[in-house]
Structure 1
Amino acid sequence: MSKKHIDEISGVETTGHDWDGIRELNTPMPRWWVWTFCATILWAIGYAAAYPAIPMITSATKGYIGFSSRGELQQDLNYAKAGKMAFQEMIAAKSVQEIDADSALREFAIAGGGSAFKVNCVPCHGSGASGGPGFPNLNDDDWLWGGDLKTIQTTIAHGIRFDGDADTNVSQMPGFADILKPEQTKQVAAYVWGLTNIPSNPALAESGKQIFLDNCAACHGEDAKGNAEIGAPDLADAIWLKGRGEDSIVRQVTAPKHGVMPAWGGRLGDTTIKELTVFVHSLGGGT
């Protein structure tokens, strides 16, 4: 039996392998590491047997404990759905005023309404509900049709100038191109702009006041504060829906633009309409 070679530098026995004068030290892994490695192999075998692990052609092994991540997810979803249904049943049974007065229901309605808003209302009113040219900002306190809960609910449910709903909000500003002369239109535009800004010509604005009282006050009021019952906007609050400046006012007086909002009641249902109402009211501009 040949004697094992001992490395002169380290004093460790070699394996006997020799390559061009280079020898391999015989340094086996520590026992604790070997046993740990064996334990991980046993653990992997047990795990593969207990849980779905080995892929098949169209599925995978089921595992003897019957675990399923999809099944666990479905249980969580069913639990969440049951809790959601309880809140939705209470919302369906209560008025928007009662929902808003109940802190728990209000919180749930705002969350649900916010989700519905992102899906249905963002294309027009924007992701932050700040609107844009021709689309109202829902964060301010300027409301064409009123900003209380009941009015917001009616507006969302029945829309504005929506042909498919008999109860939709309807208002129509006449075009004054055939009623006022061009110079009179400029005068009334200067007056309206001068309610919150400095008109380009104060003399035009002064002349436009009487024209406004004779032709516009019936809807917008003598103080130009508007009338939410008929959707006539407040002209004295520096908030402009169709455009800013005297030229924009001239165009609107001459040939008015009338916005249209769909009636959402038939699409979303009463519960979602209530949630949207509470959400919109909570944005900060509700009254």
Structure 2
Amino acid sequence: MTYTRDWDTAQVGFGPEVRELIATALTPREPSLVVRAGTYVVDPPFFGNGDIGRLAVCGAVNDLAATGADPRHLALGIVLEAGLPLDLVHRLTASVREAAAEAGVAVTAVDTQVVRAGEADRVYVTATAFGERAGPALGPDRVRPGDRVLVTGPLGDHAAHLVSLRDGLGYEYHVPSDCAPLNDLLREVRADLHHALPAAGGGLAETLRLTAAARGLTLRVDESAPPVRPGTRVALATRGLAPLDAACAGSLCLFVPPDRTGTVLTALRAHPRGRHAAVVGEVTADRRGDVEYVTPDGARTRTPSAGPLPERLL
């Protein structure tokens, strides 16, 4: 999972499929060892209720946990821009420690480099999570027609927080980022799952698109079903963004067999980070390999009705 801005992707020419291919090709083949790495860039790197350090820890932990493994250790690479105030450096390190403790993982290696002023957006972080396989691996190959699509929490809070903070809208005081480690939540339900993915960079819409393409099946999604906070919806609307396209840092997309959906929903809603879990769609037997969105008036489209894909708001 890589957090990036539009200009990063355009400049390098790598889309999410290529990044996933590279990550898969370089992942160690030791059966009991699972490794996931991500490079994290966020604007601004220090925001209302978090920062890039917390985002990196939670992102790496959630990405690894979504494979069905238990995260154990983290290795961090931190690039600092010369002149960064020491109080922000202390805030960053404290945030990393707190997020790691919350996730129950140990930070066992850290490398820090300093670049000249103007050569970085204050700070970049690369996080690598190491874990142990705890059971059958989750993945798109296990997704079946009839599976229900669930989200574990409200969509778009992270993107709405950053948009409001950058544009001075004031909503950031009412809509905090949802950045949180979700490995404990996943542990409660993973035995009943076929597949799990964080609804990160491109939001739920990109997560669904990647899964549909990888499995070659069509997903049918009710646009009105995902939970969205009112303040989040308003903040995103100021930029013409739909919650389905907005980045989340504390919400997962799950694929669950129909006969286990009730059990999974009950378990999720009993957890503090899953109280707003909801069923948003299902996997069909149609082999177009895309996503079909059903609007409140019953119309069906191939893209979210809000319009074209937006920039990545991270």
TM-score range relative to shorter protein: under 0.3
TM-score by length of 1: 0.20
Larger-gyration structure (1/2): 1
Higher strand share: 2
